[in-house]
Chain A
Amino acid sequence: MKWLFLLVALVMLSAQRDPILVPEVSQDDVQVQQGFTGTELLLFGAILDPTGARAGRDYDIVVVLKGPTEPIALREKARVGGIWVNADSTAFQSAPSFFAVASSRPIGEIVDERTAAIYELGLDYLQLSPTGAIDPEEQARFTAGLVDLRSRQGLYKQVTDGVQISEQVLYQARISLPSNVQTGTYTAETFAITRGRVIASAVAEVEVRKVGFERFVEVFSERQSLLYGLLAVLMSVGMGWVAGRLFALI
């Protein structure tokens, strides 16, 4: 606590005029269990002047919620001899399993392309680290395909008026997580932007994890595969047998 106070004091004493972001997430621990059908996260916070007063000027807020990244291969179907088969493919080293951007105005009006690319603001600026295709045109096609696919699965999204700012101090954004999200550590990054420049940013973490029975099943199937398989077989045989006996009585 003492340290935090000192740190705040240091920031306040410094001549720096950039405001401070104080971000908060409604839920820093999303529990995936029976009945989980997705959830809505409220990302909110305040932007303050170093003097503790409100920042007192207009700024834009962009919130980026990003799920754990994973290496993937993306396959593209094409018509070969009349039938549709997987033809081309490429690999991405760091495809986020979830990516949502909310901003107070369209990204294009807030920052220029270069800044957007640096801070990964928006689905057009995803840094996927492609390793397969070298041809930039082909890369763009694959990237667009991935974004389109995951957008329709509810995993990638961009809301241009998703952030509300009130009184130049408080902001809030709502981002919904669908039920098919991957578990892991999600990062919620908030950027305050004025005149095309990022003046403050802050990160909060959200842990999405399976709990209870669901966690048990997942861990069990991974670590005790043999036992899990036997249990599945036993359950299957048992249910079939019991049903057969029950109906024989009727």
Chain B
Amino acid sequence: MDVYLPIANLSVNGLVIVGLGALTGVLSGLFGVGGGFLTTPLLIFYGVPPTVAAASAATQITGASVSGVLAHGRRGGVDYRMGTVMVGGGVVGAGIGALLFRFLQSIGQIDTVINVLYVLLLGSVGSLMAREAWQAVRPPEGGERKPAMRRRHHRLIAVLPLRWRFYGSGLYISPIAPLLLGVAVGALTMLMGVGGGFILVPAMLYILGMSANVVVGTSLYNILFVTMATTMMHALTTHAVDIVLVALLLIGSVTGAQFGTQVAQRFKPEYLRLALAAIVLLVTARMFFGLFVRPEEIYTVVPL
């Protein structure tokens, strides 16, 4: 089924794009991540111009996170106060990201920066997750398992002034910390075309010390609004949002997400985290080697 993408300026097999959307949808349903870290590189691999791929992937993530936010919100799994502070930071971050994007593009290093960022971020998050999941899965060796470490926010967070109470997260900390986290993730969203869930979730758990039952919901809430801001930013500056591409991706991802959620209920969360860690590390390894191997295309054309 050939579909012409009016902004990307090429004809693609619609079923492949829907399938790609479904794959990321299943992942997001299974693991609670947006799947942007797979969509963008795969679209580029398929021949979609990088900017169009990143912009359209961001728009797709908006749609993919809606049902998640609604589901988590219904059972009180979203700390709206915390989420809104992060969104505020995220919008600023998206603006900073857009400036960075333009600067890096003008000196021709955007691809390298994106790839190195992917390797660093995915690599560290992946190994962190793998270690944590492996410890949970492994049968306890002699004696009983160590009691879970008490959840605490990082020491640096405690010194920040102006404390607010975040009831959902069970925290009494300065809003500056989540604001800065929001800025960082917003910039990454704009740069890499990812939702940032794979960075937000561990950061909320280990740096802010939020209670685990609101982490995924709040992360999705943040992603929902930050990807909206990113879409608007792209629509206004790069004109790279391909609405046909987004629609195709969404058809796949919204159905895939439901399927993934069903499957996820049959497995233990530790095994799921281990599987996600394995996928993340695989993608990282592929990208890491990609940096050193002679690329297929030595030359790239940039319109002036």
Which residues of chain A from 75 to 101 have any CB-CB distance to chain B below 8 Å in the complex?
75-77, 79, 82-86, 89, 91, 95
**Which B residues lie within 8 Å of A221 (CB)?**
7, 235, 239, 241, 243
**Taking A221-B235, A239-B63 as contacts, is the C-beta distance between A35 and B295 under 8 angstroms?**
no
Q: Which of B60, B71, B234, B235 contacts A244 (CB 8 A)?
A: B71
B252 to chain A, nearest CB (A): 11
**Which A residues lie within 8 Å of B2 (CB)?**
35-37, 179
Asked if B236 CB lies within 8 Å of chain A CBs, one says yes
**Which B residues lie within 8 Å of A75 (CB)?**
108, 299-300, 302
**Which A residues lie within 8 Å of B112 (CB)?**
83, 85-86
Contacting pair B67 A244 (CB below 8 A):
yes
Asked if A210 CB lies within 8 Å of chain B CBs, one says yes
| Nearest chain B residue, comparing its CB with the CB of A243 | B254
Bound-state Cα–Cα, A145 to B4, Å: 28
Asked if B156 CB lies within 8 Å of chain A CBs, one says no
Asked if A180 CB lies within 8 Å of chain B CBs, one says yes
User: A211-250 interface mask toward B, CB cutoff 8 Å, 1 = contact, 0 = none?
Assistant: 0011101100110011011111101111111011001000
Contacting pair B241 A232 (CB below 8 A):
yes
Which residues of chain A from 49 to 87 have any CB-CB distance to chain B below 8 Å in the complex?
70-77, 79, 82-86
Contacting pair A247 B243 (CB below 8 A):
no
**Which A residues lie within 8 Å of B3 (CB)?**
34-35
Q: Which of B59, B71, B111 contacts A86 (CB 8 A)?
A: B111
**Taking A229-B231, A239-B63, A239-B247 as contacts, is the C-beta distance between A73 and B302 under 8 angstroms?**
yes
Asked if A172 CB lies within 8 Å of chain B CBs, one says no
Bound-state Cα–Cα, A238 to B60, Å: 11
Asked if B135 CB lies within 8 Å of chain A CBs, one says no
User: B25-60 interface mask toward A, CB cutoff 8 Å, 1 = contact, 0 = none?
Assistant: 000000000000000000000010000000000011
Asked if B297 CB lies within 8 Å of chain A CBs, one says yes
Contacting pair A232 B7 (CB below 8 A):
no
Q: Is the contact region of chain B dominated by helix, strand, or loop, or is it mixed?
A: helix
**Which A residues lie within 8 Å of B241 (CB)?**
221, 228-229, 232
A151 to chain B, nearest CB (A): 12
| Nearest chain B residue, comparing its CB with the CB of A87 | B108
Asked if B70 CB lies within 8 Å of chain A CBs, one says yes
**Taking A37-B11, A73-B304, A77-B295 as contacts, is the C-beta distance between A236 and B60 under 8 angstroms?**
yes
Q: How many residues of B contact A (CB 8 A)?
A: 54
Contacting pair A236 B236 (CB below 8 A):
no
Asked if A32 CB lies within 8 Å of chain B CBs, one says yes
**Which B residues lie within 8 Å of A235 (CB)?**
63, 243, 246-247, 250
Bound-state Cα–Cα, A145 to B234, Å: 30
How many A-B contacts if CB must be within 8 Å? 176
**Which A residues lie within 8 Å of B293 (CB)?**
84
Bound-state Cα–Cα, A213 to B3, Å: 12
**Which A residues lie within 8 Å of B300 (CB)?**
74-75, 77, 86, 149
Asked if B291 CB lies within 8 Å of chain A CBs, one says yes
Which of A72, A226, A240 has its CB near the most chain B CB atoms (within 10 A)?
A240
Q: Which of A82, A210, A241 contacts B292 (CB 8 A)?
A: A82
Bound-state Cα–Cα, A239 to B250, Å: 7
Asked if B149 CB lies within 8 Å of chain A CBs, one says no
Bound-state Cα–Cα, A79 to B293, Å: 9
Asked if A205 CB lies within 8 Å of chain B CBs, one says no
**Which A residues lie within 8 Å of B292 (CB)?**
82-84
Asked if A148 CB lies within 8 Å of chain B CBs, one says yes
Bound-state Cα–Cα, A52 to B11, Å: 45
Bound-state Cα–Cα, A150 to B300, Å: 10
Q: Which of B70, B71, B234, B303 contacts A229 (CB 8 A)?
A: B234
| Nearest chain B residue, comparing its CB with the CB of A224 | B235
Q: Which are the 6 A-B pairs with shortest beta-carbon distances?
A: A229-B235, A244-B67, A240-B66, A179-B11, A243-B254, A236-B63
A sample of 28 cross-chain residue pairs with beta-carbon separation below 8 angstroms, ordered by A number, consists of: A32-B4, A37-B4, A71-B304, A72-B302, A73-B303, A74-B302, A75-B300, A76-B299, A77-B297, A82-B292, A83-B291, A83-B292, A86-B108, A142-B299, A149-B299, A149-B300, A179-B10, A213-B6, A214-B6, A221-B243, A222-B239, A226-B235, A236-B66, A237-B66, A239-B250, A239-B254, A241-B66, A244-B71
Task: Tell me the A residues contacting B by CB distance below 8 Å.
Answer: 32-38, 70-77, 79, 82-86, 89, 91, 95, 142, 145-146, 148-150, 179-180, 182, 210, 213-215, 217-218, 221-222, 225-226, 228-233, 235-241, 243-244, 247
With A218-B6, A243-B257 given, can you name 6 additional A-B contacts, CB distance below 8 Å?
A: A35-B3, A71-B303, A86-B111, A146-B299, A237-B228, A239-B254
